[in-house]
Amino acid sequence: MLALSVGAASFCHAAESSNVPAESARYDLCSALSDRFKLFDAKRDHADNPWIQQARLKFRAQYQFGYLQPAGGSDRVAGAPDHERRTNSEWRRFRIGAEAKVLRHFTLLANWNIGGLEARDTFSKGAWKQGRTSSEIDEIYLSGTFRPVTFTLGKHKPAFMGEYRTSSSKIITIERSFLVNQLKAEKLYGLSFKNADKKARWGWEAGVWMNGSHDGMWMEPAFNSDSSAMFGASLSYATGDHGRLYLDYMHSFADWDKVSRAEEEGIAYDGTSAQDVVALTWEGKKDKLSFMVEAIGAFNLNMSEAENAFGLVLMPSYRISPHWEGVFRYQVASGSNAIKSDSRYYTTNSTYKNGCDLTQAFYFGLNYYVCPKEPHAMKLMFGAEYLDSHGLTASGQKGYTGWGFTTAARVNF
């Protein structure tokens, strides 16, 4: 995938700089590839069909590599001194799927996470062990639009909180912020409704999802009544032509004691990890500058030693050129024994624990878009982040402090 991205970049630059006819220079690789994933398109193929308007394949992949520089040096690296390793790599996402637009009002979609691929390594019992991705249904749903309302039924994302509302293919940092990753609900089976016009001055969304997601088997669903359900709602308001303010709320009806017993029986709980979550988000854009600010409050966490958590994220980005974008993110999250820093590399490759009272982080990122017209179809991402954690977990361990460096290649069609 990296070779494809680099090769495509070279091709695009060659087309821009060589003395070829203007018509050839306008060729867009990502648009051409995206078009090939469409098996049928009534408009493109000049074949109006009352039954099927479009049928396409879907593909999303992300491979990333990380390097850590924890405060405390080698004494804080997992496996030190004999098996010290500061690096880790993984297939962060690898999905295939299919989508069809039918009967002029409905969309059918199914996505699968592919198992057996390289996941991040973990250190256990004196040795590093190779992880593998698991096979599971990522999304499978039916949606339909009958203006002014769109409904979705099946396994889909409770899209609340700003960074989580943004698709994983379009996020401009390699990972979302800590508190969003900690509190979000995974993709669950449920029914939701929202206004069909995304550009309306006032917008809204509401839905109910089952919390129990899977039991370790490939086929789903598997539910446990003890896990109960979750409710989500959102109200938004357009602030000008390129800005929107969101107020999101999520509530889990689960009983945390019953959730723990269900997990002992192998039924995973994938709902939001707090009884109540409130988020206020503003997103805006002016010329080449984009900005997002989000404040989050979480109450009655699904953690035996913690109760509430609060956080703030500031994330400006600037489109330096058609191919390059710079990103900065500041995040702070606090709560007694309540904050989990992202465990993908920070606590996998260090002896720091995934928990503390307060974490601040500064992210500096640079993204390269192979095809500026479809920037998120194929891109390379480079990120450096410094974390500063304070306070101890209930077991007396300190959260991660130090640098993390990550690079990722993403493809989405």
Region 38-64 average pLDDT: 94
pLDDT-derived band at 317 (thresholds 50, 70, 90) equals very high
Q: Give the Cβ contact number of residue 229 at 10 Å.
A: 19
Alpha carbon distance 85, 97 (integer Å) = 35
pLDDT tens for 53-85 read: 999 999 999 999 999 999 999 999 999 989 999
**In contact, 90 and 118? CB cutoff 8 Å:** yes
Per-residue confidence (pLDDT) for residue 231, from 0 to 100: 97
**In contact, 91 and 62? CB cutoff 8 Å:** yes
In a domain, 43, yes or no: no
In a domain, 255, yes or no: yes
Domain that includes residue 126, residue range? 60-95+117-412
Please name the residue that has the structure tokens 């306008």: 26
CATH number at residue 172: 2.40.160.10
In a domain, 64, yes or no: yes
Q: Which two tokens stand for residue 364?
A: 């500096």
pLDDT-derived band at 10 (thresholds 50, 70, 90) equals very low
Instruction: Tell me how far CA of residue 268 lies from CA of 159, 196, 282, 311, in angstroms.
Output: 20, 33, 33, 26
The enclosing H or E element of 260 equals: helix 256-264
Does 2 score more than 50 pLDDT? no
In a domain, 1, yes or no: no
Does 7 score more than 90 pLDDT? no
In a domain, 269, yes or no: yes
Q: Which of 180, 168, 341, 177 is nearest to 250 (CA)?
A: 180
Does 18 score more than 60 pLDDT? no
Does 1 score more than 50 pLDDT? no
The enclosing H or E element of 32 equals: helix 29-36
Kindly write down the DSSP assignment for every residue of 344-373, as one continuous string. Answer: TTTTTSBS-BS-EEEEEEEEEEEEEESSTT
pLDDT tens for 345-404 read: 999 999 998 888 999 999 999 999 999 999 999 999 999 999 999 876 556 678 899 999
In a domain, 103, yes or no: no
Instruction: Tell me how far CA of residue 278 lies from CA of 180, 187, 271, 303, 313, in angstroms.
Output: 11, 19, 15, 18, 14
Per-residue confidence (pLDDT) for residue 216, from 0 to 100: 61
Per-residue confidence (pLDDT) for residue 325, from 0 to 100: 98
In a domain, 51, yes or no: no
Q: Which amino acid belongs to residue 191?
A: L
What lies within 8 Å, CB to CB, of 124 at 6+ separation is none
pLDDT-derived band at 17 (thresholds 50, 70, 90) equals very low
Alpha carbon distance 233, 246 (integer Å) = 10
What lies within 8 Å, CB to CB, of 35 at 6+ separation is 44
Q: Which of 291, 304, 306, 302 is nearest to 358 (CA)?
A: 306
Q: What is the 3-state secondary structure (H, E, C) of 337-351?
A: EEECCCCCCCCCCEC
Q: Which of 286, 288, 374 is nearest to 325 (CA)?
A: 288
Question: Which pTM was predicted?
Answer: 0.89
Q: Give the phi and the psi of residue 361 in degrees, each rounded to 5.
A: -145, 140
The enclosing H or E element of 181 equals: helix 178-183
**In contact, 357 and 401? CB cutoff 8 Å:** no
Total count of domains within the chain: 1
Average pLDDT score over the chain: 89
In a domain, 106, yes or no: no
Q: Which amino acid belongs to residue 348?
A: T
pLDDT tens for 233-272 read: 999 999 988 999 999 999 999 989 888 887 777 777 889 9
Per-residue confidence (pLDDT) for residue 251, from 0 to 100: 97
Does 8 score more than 70 pLDDT? no
